[in-house]
Amino acid sequence: MDEKRVAFITGGTSGIGKEVSLTLSREGFDIAINCINDPKNYQDVKKEVEANNVKCILVQGDVSVYQDTERMVKEVIDEYGRIDVLVNNAGITKDNLLMRMKKEDFNSVIDVNLIGTFNVTKNVVPYMIKQRYGRIISLASVVGVAGNAGQANYAASKAGIIGFTKSLAKELGSRNILVNAVAPGYIKTAMTDVLSDKIKDSIKEQIPLRTLGETKDVANLIKFLSSEDSSYITGQVIHVDGGMVM
């Protein structure tokens, strides 16, 4: 491709999203990072990305709010004129057993993880269709495939992302837009730091590779899915989980 490629990463200032932003910047992508809080707090992330000799902008907004996603996508297009890779990474958990789960906690997890993925994708796809090129990569989870006690809301949101991904792969394949989901197992980030050592040890027992994953394990797969090396792969859910769910 002659033009500079552009990647837009939601929730890209921490954890897996930050690692993806840095990894794709090392591949030469100009980067747009969505953050929910004030961009002033993330100037260090912007500088780290720019140190790889690419451009970086921060766009503030809540992915669960449709108008925010409309405005954010416009900001990215105004700056770069195109979006080649969309990484739907923003996500939250509000774990509890169903008996104790409040309706609001079910709804808010669906709102951010699933509706947020719809909102951003819906606004990006028209540009990808015009370009006749695009890669949409969404963060699912092995929990969306196998289920998990205490995570009915989260698992439903991630299973929804899988159905969304497969449907869009069928809708958009003829437009040269590839749509895939990445399903991490347990990766060391703020999301899993909250687990006690006892729970972490019992999780490791269920993982054939006997260790939690690193953010770079997920970012390396997303790098591959963003590259020309993956041009015959669409509609897939690829696990990065040390063999936890097969």
Residue among 39, 36, 29 nearest 8 (CA): 29
> Which one-letter amino acid corresponds to residue 144?
G
Instruction: Build a one-symbol-per-residue string for 134-173: x at contacts with ligand NAD by CB under 6 A, - elsewhere.
Output: -----x-x--------------------------------
CB of 152 to ligand NAD, least distance (A): 15
Closer residue to ligand NAD, CB minimum distance, 133 or 191:
191
Alpha carbons 55 and 5: distance in angstroms, whole number: 11
Instruction: Build a one-symbol-per-residue string for 211-240: x at contacts with ligand NAD by CB under 6 A, - elsewhere.
Output: ------------------------------
Known catalytic residue at 154: yes
User: Listing from the earlier edge strand, what are the strands of the sheet with 30-35?
Assistant: 56-60, 30-35, 6-9, 85-88, 134-139, 177-184, 237-240
Residue among 26, 77, 19 nearest 50 (CA): 26
Region near ligand NAD per CB under 6 A, out of 14-22, 46-54, 165-173, 195-203: 14-22
Among 59, 92, 152, 181, binds ligand NAD (CB under 6 A): 92
Instruction: Reduce the DSSP state of residue 97 to 3 states and report it.
Output: coil
Q: Which of residues 62-81 bind ligand NAD (CB under 6 A)?
A: 62-64
The residues annotated as belonging to the active site are 154
